[in-house]
Amino acid sequence: MRWFYLLVVLFVGANLYLTYKGQSVFNAIPFALLVIYAAVYHLDKLFLFVVLFTPLSVNIEEFVPGQSIGLFLPTEPILFGILLLVILTQIRKNSFQKDFLRHPITIVLVVQLLWIFFTSITSELPMVSFKYLLMKLWFIVPIYFYGVYFFKDEKNISRFVWLFIFSMTIVVCYTLFNHALNGFDEETGHWVMWPFFKDHTSYGAILALIYPLFFGLLLGKKNSPILNLTLVVLILLFGFAIIMSYTRAAWLSLFGAAAVYALIRFKVKFKYLLVLGIVALVYVGMSWTAIQHNLERNNSEHATENMDERLESMTNITTDASNLERLNRWGCAIRLWQERPVMGWGPGTYAMVYAPFQLSSGKTIISTNSGNRGNAHSEYLGPLSEQGLPGMLIMIVLVGFIVYTGITLYIRMPDGINKTLLICMTLGLITYFTHGILNNYLDTDKAAVPVWGFTAIMVMLDLKYPRKSKVKTSVETLPTQD
């Protein structure tokens, strides 16, 4: 025991000396040891810790000069540790049941990870691509693969939801306070959420993603008057935050989710939607010239506080720099794909390789050759350029299975709070994947944790309530300790 005290004294002394000299690396050791202990003996609590701190995490790249590695603290190192623990547990004993491994969403996710691996081998920048693959693994394996078993205890569903809402409320209050100090104008609305969110578009996307949950919590079960009042206040607060985010895609995605809910609520048959979709496509095809002329005459700018004008500006492809730059990035993604149609240029490489594929006629006042202003701005065209046509198709199939599973499961589930939360999560995912046409954030913890968390909850419930009631679910709890 004396040796233990001696080591503690030596550690404290060395740490104080190094801190005095400007080196604080030892300060992280106690925290790392605590995380290791929690991972081995209390993995469920560590998982919830990650959920709580996801909206509050900060990118080390923003604070360390010259740092080229984007890493969100404290969440991503912990997720990496959980990844290692899950892998080691799986090596020791197969913990994933057949029903889970055979689920369509699981299969597509595994295929996506395998394709990312193969395209990393053929990548233009293999080191960048394998880092990207590692990042995908530490998001998907802990949140989805472990998450399905974590949510087997259905109390963890509400814990997941409330912890994420709690920390997002802190971010919203912080953002609105900073915004108020600047008069709620549109220009400062782009950065007042820093350092928790990089810009207003990612902030708006996550607000829209979780917004339907408030209605589910309010209407899904009988609450105390205080809780109902709290939820009403949160609905108003987050609604105001979405408006003040000045994120046009977030607004539009919420309208789309509301339309989907109306179709589900009124039980509109798929065949009618198919006919309507075909008619709409034929109309667009026959009227494309007139539509294009109308778009070119649209001069509405997004730099306005009027919601109608901002929504109208989404179709301005003449003077709106944001829209024109997005078209520039999309055009580059398509030209990159045409150069390497099957394997692409490598996962995570778009920002490093797209510059030579910009057309002089497509550049805008915010164009750059340094790759420091985002990537392809699409969850679908990004994989197309980086992983070839198979990469985009896998992503589209994954989104299709997630939405299909959520809607069909909602129809057959018994009434209750979980059924209500399920449809709200499905609608939230629809907002994100709709938003994903215009932006992409699944390479950040802010989006990956709720998106894969909601998906894990959906799959767990899908296994619990199979299409044939006689089929017995085989979801079991993943071992978290010796």
Q: pLDDT band for 384, please (50, 70, 90 cuts).
A: very high
Q: pLDDT band for 146, please (50, 70, 90 cuts).
A: very high
Structure tokens at 78: 């912990």
Q: Can you give the pLDDT at residue 474? A: 44
Structure tokens at 334: 């398509």
Residue given tokens 């109608």 in the structure block: 308
Question: Does residue 159 carry a pLDDT above 80?
Answer: yes
Single-letter amino acid code for the residue at 419? K
Q: Tens digits of per-residue pLDDT, 12-65?
A: 565 555 555 555 555 566 666 666 767 677 899 999 999 999 999 998 876 665
- Are 233 and 172 a contacting pair, CB within 8 Å? no
Structure tokens at 335: 């030209």
Report percent pLDDT > 90 for the chain. Answer: 58
Q: Can you give the pLDDT at residue 107? A: 97
Question: Omega into 74 within 30° of 0, i.e. cis?
Answer: yes
d(CA 447, CA 458): 17
- Are 84 and 101 a contacting pair, CB within 8 Å? no
- Are 447 and 432 a contacting pair, CB within 8 Å? yes
Question: Does residue 75 carry a pLDDT above 80?
Answer: yes
Q: Give mean pLDDT, residues 406-412.
A: 94
Nearest to 324 by CA among 374, 368, 365, 376: 365
What is residue 102's three-state secondary structure? coil
Instruction: Report residue 59: phi and psi, to 5°.
Output: -85, 120
CA 138 to chain centre: 13
- Are 319 and 299 a contacting pair, CB within 8 Å? yes
Q: Give mean pLDDT, residues 89-109.
A: 91
Question: Does residue 149 carry a pLDDT above 90?
Answer: yes
Intra-chain end-to-end CA distance of the chain, in Å? 25
Q: Is 197 left (phi over 0), alpha (psi -120 to 50) or beta?
A: beta
Q: Give mean pLDDT, residues 160-189.
A: 95
Let me know how long the chain is. 482
d(CA 391, CA 384): 6
Q: pLDDT band for 140, please (50, 70, 90 cuts).
A: very high
What is residue 58's three-state secondary structure? strand
Question: Does residue 178 carry a pLDDT above 90?
Answer: yes
Q: Can you give the pLDDT at residue 476? A: 46
User: How big is the CA angle at 329 (ends 323 and 332), to the nearest 5 degrees?
Assistant: 140
Q: How many of the other CB atoms lie within 10 Å of CB of 130? A: 18
Q: pLDDT band for 425, please (50, 70, 90 cuts).
A: very high
d(CA 105, CA 111): 10
Q: Can you give the pLDDT at residue 13? A: 61
Structure tokens at 398: 């994954």
Give the chain's radius of gyration (CA, Å): 24
Who wins on pLDDT, 182 or 295? 182
Report percent pLDDT > 70 for the chain. Answer: 77
The DSSP call for residue 414 is P
**Sequence-separated (6 or more) residues with CB below 8 Å from residue 358:** 328, 331, 332, 367, 369
Cite the DSSP H helix spans in 220-320: 225-244, 248-265, 270-286, 288-297, 307-312
Q: Tens digits of per-residue pLDDT, 194-228?
A: 999 999 999 999 999 999 999 999 998 889 999 99
- Are 445 and 79 a contacting pair, CB within 8 Å? yes
Q: Tens digits of per-residue pLDDT, 303-334?
A: 555 555 555 555 555 556 778 888 889 999 99
Q: How many of the other CB atoms lie within 10 Å of CB of 122? A: 16
Q: Can you give the pLDDT at residue 481? A: 44
Question: Does residue 292 carry a pLDDT above 80?
Answer: no
Q: pLDDT band for 477, please (50, 70, 90 cuts).
A: very low
Question: Does residue 458 carry a pLDDT above 70?
Answer: yes
Question: Does residue 158 carry a pLDDT above 50?
Answer: yes
Q: Tens digits of per-residue pLDDT, 344-381?
A: 999 999 999 998 998 887 788 777 776 666 788 899 99
Q: Can you give the pLDDT at residue 363? A: 80
User: How do the domains of the chain map onto residue ranges?
Assistant: 26-272+375-464
Q: Can you give the pLDDT at residue 473? A: 44
d(CA 425, CA 431): 10
Q: Lowest mean pLDDT: which of 35-49, 131-145, 306-320, 430-444? A: 306-320
> At 417, which helix (H) or strand (E)?
helix 417-435
Q: What is the pTM of this model?
A: 0.87
